Amino acid sequence: MLLFSIGACQPKLTKQEALQTKIRSQIDSIQGEVAVVFLNLSDPTDSLYINEDVEFHAASTMKVPVMIELFKQEEAGKINLNDSIILVNEFKSIVDGSSYSMDISDDSDDVIYNKINTKVTIHDLMYSMITVSSNLATNVLIELVDAKNVTATMRDLGAEKIEVLRGVEDLKAYELGLSNSTTAKDLSIIMKVIAANQTGSDVNSKAMIAILKDQQFNEVIPHYLPKNVEVAHKTGWITGVHHDAGIVYLPDGRSYVLVLLSKNLKDFDKGTEQLAGISKTIYEYMTGE
């Protein structure tokens, strides 16, 4: 009876503590390394940070900073997103300036390859870069705005560690360890800024959100969520890596930022499903379901 009485006196976990306990348990079940950041945009005190400063290969999440830079340069009058440019498939390595090309078999967007050597609007390239994660479009756009400008803009927004160094499939840079990198904290900062319409003009922020809502790869954050829940997000994946970062819009008008990063996944498909399970846990926490 004494042992029972001591146990009964254990303090009850707060709702936030219970959430963290459950999320950590879910992370422990994943064979790989995971980082999670959750920000309740309706209540700044309601947040969760796990491994938020651990660096990850950015994969295609770096395409969101490129999109932000495109809108920034348009506002500055440097480019016009409605202008057309010739779509080329030849890029320069950041290592030595040597040329390399994209391979359709390594890209998630095969349609765009039919447009090589034709005129395509910058906006259409940007839309493909985000919604179908087109690597070819990404490389064209990075050369247009300059990767250094993208990283500098991220610093201006408060993202201290994210590095956008190069385009996709620059193998010489990859072999030297020169890859785009990020942290969950930095991606959460970027998404929060977009959600708050603080990336520039209100019109452009809303345009970014609309593009992110058209994301075609929905295996992580939206996977287990009801259809009436909108998610503005960007995924990214390479071998052993699956990321998703976005803004979740609940039907009651509330919203939250969620960033899920992973690396060294031993089972990519199982790990992806488990990450989607973490998203489901956050949703249930927010809605009480």
CATH at residue 226: 3.40.710.10
**All residues at 6 or more sequence positions from 98 whose CB lies less than 8 Å from its CB, including other chains:** 92, 172
pLDDT number for residue 156: 96
- pTM value is 0.93
Q: Would you state the pLDDT for residue 59?
A: 95
Q: Judge whether 150 lies within some domain.
A: no
Q: How many domains does the chain have?
A: 1
What is the C-alpha to C-alpha distance for residues 243 and 262, in angstroms, rounded to an integer?
6
SS3 147: helix
> Cα-flanking dihedrals φ and ψ of residue 82, to 5°?
-90, -5
Per the listing, tokens 């390594």 go with 106
Distances (CA, A) of 229 to 36, 37, 129, 210: 20, 19, 23, 14
Residue 105 lies in a domain: no
pLDDT at 8: 53
pLDDT for 10 equals: 64
Residue 1 falls inside a structural domain: no
CA angle, 90 as apex, 88 and 91 as ends, to 5°?
Answer: 120
Q: Which residues in the chain come in under a pLDDT of 50? A: 1-2, 4-6
In-domain check, residue 260: yes
283: buried, middle or exposed (CB in 10 Å: 19+, 13-18, 0-12)? Answer: buried
> Domain of 193?
15-54+183-289
Environment class of residue 218 by beta-carbon count within 10 Å: exposed (0-12), middle (13-18) or buried (19+)?
Answer: middle
Over the stretch 2-11, which tens digit does the pLDDT of each residue have? 454 445 556 7
Say if 106 falls within a structural domain: no
On whether residue 233 sits in a domain, the answer given is yes
Q: What is the pLDDT of residue 106?
A: 80
Does 139 reside within a domain? no
Q: CA-CA distance, 85 to 14, in Å (whole number)? A: 55
220 belongs to a structural domain: yes
Say if CB 260 and CB 36 are below 8 A apart: yes
Amino acid identity, position 59: A
* Side chain identity, residue 62: M
> Cα separation of 10 and 13, whole Å?
9
